Structure 1
Amino acid sequence: MQVQLNEDVTLDSRRAIWLPRHKTLVLSDLFFGLGAARRRRPDPMPATPQMEIWERVFSLIDDYAPAQVALLGDLKPSQGTVEGDEAEELRTIFRKLKAGGRTVVQVVGHPDRSSGPALEGTGIEPVEQHRVGPFTLMHRRRIFVYPRHEPSHGFWINGGVHPLFAVPNPGPSGEADWIRLPAFLYTGFALVMPPFVSYAQGFEVIQPERLPRQAKAWKLLADRLRPLDLGALPPTPEHLRTLTRPPRRGKEAAKAEE
Structure 2
Amino acid sequence: MNTRDVDIAGERLTLHPERAIYWAAQRTLLLSDVHFGKGAVFRRAGIAVPSGDTDDDLRRLDALIDTFQPHRVVILGDLVHGAATSRSAWVDDVRAWRARHAGIDIVLVAGNHDRHFDVASLGIFVQPDRLAVPPFVLSHHPHAHAGGYVLAGHVHPGVVVRDGWRKHRLPAFVFDRAVGMLPAFGTLTGLHEVNAAPGRQLFASTPAGIMVVR
TM-score w.r.t. length of structure 1: 0.70
Q: Does 1:27 align with 2:43?
A: no
> Which is bigger in relative contact order (C-alpha 8 A, separation at least 6)?
2
Structure 1 residue 187, shift from structure 2 partner: 0.7
Structure 1 residue 122, shift from structure 2 partner: 1.7
Gaps spanning 5+ residues in structure 1: where?
A: 172-176, 230-258
Q: Does 1:162 align with 2:150?
A: no
Q: Does 1:51 align with 2:55?
A: yes
Q: Does 1:147 align with 2:111?
A: no
Q: Determine which structure has more spread, i.e. the larger CA radius of gyration.
A: 1
Structure 1 residue 75, shift from structure 2 partner: 2.2
Q: Does 1:195 align with 2:184?
A: yes
Match of 2:67 among 63, 68, 79: 63
Q: Which residue of 2 aligns with 1:246?
A: none
Question: Alignment RMSD, CA only?
Answer: 2.6
Structure 1 residue 133, shift from structure 2 partner: 2.9
Residues of 1 paired with 2:116 and 2:132: CA distance?
A: 19
Contact kept, 8 Å, 1:149 with 1:156, in 2: the verdict is no
Structure 1 residue 55, shift from structure 2 partner: 1.7
Q: Does 1:215 align with 2:200?
A: yes
Gaps spanning 5+ residues in structure 2: where?
A: none
Q: Does 1:105 align with 2:93?
A: no
Residues of 1 paired with 2:91 and 2:55: CA distance?
A: 17
Contact kept, 8 Å, 1:37 with 1:86, in 2: the verdict is no
Match of 2:174 among 162, 179, 185: 185
Contact kept, 8 Å, 2:78 with 2:114, in 1: the verdict is no
CA gap 1:139/1:70 in 2 versus in 1, 3 angstroms? same
Task: Number of aligned residue pairs: give it.
Answer: 209
Please tell me the residue identity of whatever aligns with 1:78.
Answer: G
Question: Normalized per residue, which structure has more strand?
Answer: 2
Structure 1 residue 24, shift from structure 2 partner: 0.7
TM-score w.r.t. length of structure 2: 0.83
